[in-house]
Amino acid sequence: HYQRLLILVFHFILTRIPKPIVNNPSPSQWNLVIQKINMEDGGNYTCTANTLPVQEQTVTLNIRVSPRIANSSKSNITVVEGESISLFCQTTGLPRPTVTWFKLSRSGDIKTRKGETLKLKEVRRTDDGMFQCLADNNFLPTVYRNFRITVHYPPEVKLPVTRIGQAKGKDTILECYVTSVPRAIISWEFKNRMLRMGVKHSVDHFIDSLSRDVYSLVIRNLNQSDFGTYTCTAANQIGETMKSVQLYGR
C-alpha cells in the first residue's frame, strides 16, 4: 500500500468564500467542489499527484453567464417627426451577448440591426411602432426588451374637392380628411368666423378605411348667404394646417 498526496493549485483557494471543498469518494478519485460559481472562478485548475514521476492534470473552467439587460432606454418614447433619437440596451453575460434590434411590423416585415445602440436619424412617421432589442450569447435564456416609439407630426388636411355646387333649399356636406398624431382639434370657418354647431350646421366624425379622421360639415336648407368659402382647420401640439373649399349655388 502507498499513500497518495493530492495538491490542488489555484491562487485563491484559501481566500475564496465559500472555500472550495476537496473530497475523496474513492482511493483513486479526488474532486474539487466549487460552490456558488462566479465569473472570477474561471481559469485553469491543476491537480498534482506526488507519484513518481509527478503527475499533473489541468482542467480549464470556462464560465458561461446567460445574457441580461442591465440598463436600457425607457420603454415608451415620443419623438417629433424629423428629430433623431437613440435607443440602447446595455447587456452583461459571458461570452459577451450579441444584441439584435428588430422593428416589429404589422405586415410581418422585420428590419434588423446589430449593436447595443440603435440610432434613428430624422425619424419619419413610418418609424412609429414597436422596437425590440434581443440579447443572445448561445446560453439560454435569451432576453429581450420592447420599446414603443410614437412619432408626432402636424396635421395633414385633404379635401375631396375644392369646389362644390348645390341648389338653394337643399342640404350639403363638405368633407375634410385629417391625419395627425396626436389627434388634431378641428374647426370649420366661414367668412373668417368659426361656425357654431346647431340646427343650421353640424359636424359628423368617422374614421375611413385609410385610418383618416373624416369631419363632415353638414349645412342645412341652403340660402344665398351660405355660399362662399369654407375653411377646415386642424391643429395639434406640433402645428396647424388648413384647407378651403368653395360652395357655390347652382
If asked whether residues 128 and 202 sit together in one domain, one would say no
- Please say which residue of 124, 153, 182 terminates a domain: 153
6: confidence class by pLDDT, cuts 50, 70, 90: very low
Report the predicted TM-score, pTM, of the whole model to 2 decimal places: 0.76
If asked whether residues 93 and 147 sit together in one domain, one would say yes
DSSP structural state of residue 137? -
- Please say which residue of 128, 153, 178 terminates a domain: 153
- The pairing of strands 185-190 and 228-235 is antiparallel
**Residue 90, in any domain of the structure:** yes
- Please say which residue of 127, 153, 179 terminates a domain: 153
Nearest to 233 by CA among 122, 181, 167, 156: 156
Q: In this predicted model, what pLDDT tens digit does every residue of 226-237 receive, in sequence order?
A: 999 999 999 999
If asked whether residues 43 and 77 sit together in one domain, one would say no
The predicted structure's pLDDT at residue 110: 63
If asked whether residues 97 and 164 sit together in one domain, one would say no
Who has greater pLDDT, 18 or 148?
148
The predicted structure's pLDDT at residue 161: 96
If asked whether residues 70 and 57 sit together in one domain, one would say no
Say if residue 13's pLDDT is above 70: no
If asked whether residues 244 and 163 sit together in one domain, one would say yes
Task: Find the CATH number of the domain harbouring 202.
Answer: 2.60.40.10
Q: In this predicted model, what pLDDT tens digit does every residue of 190-233 receive, in sequence order?
A: 999 999 999 999 999 999 999 999 999 999 999 999 999 999 99
145: confidence class by pLDDT, cuts 50, 70, 90: very high
If asked whether residues 172 and 217 sit together in one domain, one would say yes
CA atoms within 13 A on the CB side of 191: 5
**Residue 1, in any domain of the structure:** no
Cell numbers standing for residue 104:
416589429
* pLDDT, mean of residues 167-180: 97
CA atoms within 13 A on the CB side of 118: 24
- Whole-number average pLDDT of the chain: 89
Say what percent of the chain tops pLDDT 90.
Answer: 68
If asked whether residues 129 and 93 sit together in one domain, one would say yes
* Domain that includes residue 115, residue range: 66-153
The predicted structure's pLDDT at residue 190: 97
Say if residue 155's pLDDT is above 90: yes
Domain count, the chain: 3
Nearest to 119 by CA among 79, 88, 153, 74: 88
If asked whether residues 45 and 88 sit together in one domain, one would say no
* Residue where the block lists cell 495538491: 7
Q: In this predicted model, what pLDDT tens digit does every residue of 16-72 receive, in sequence order?
A: 667 788 888 887 788 888 888 887 888 888 888 877 888 888 889 888 989 999 999
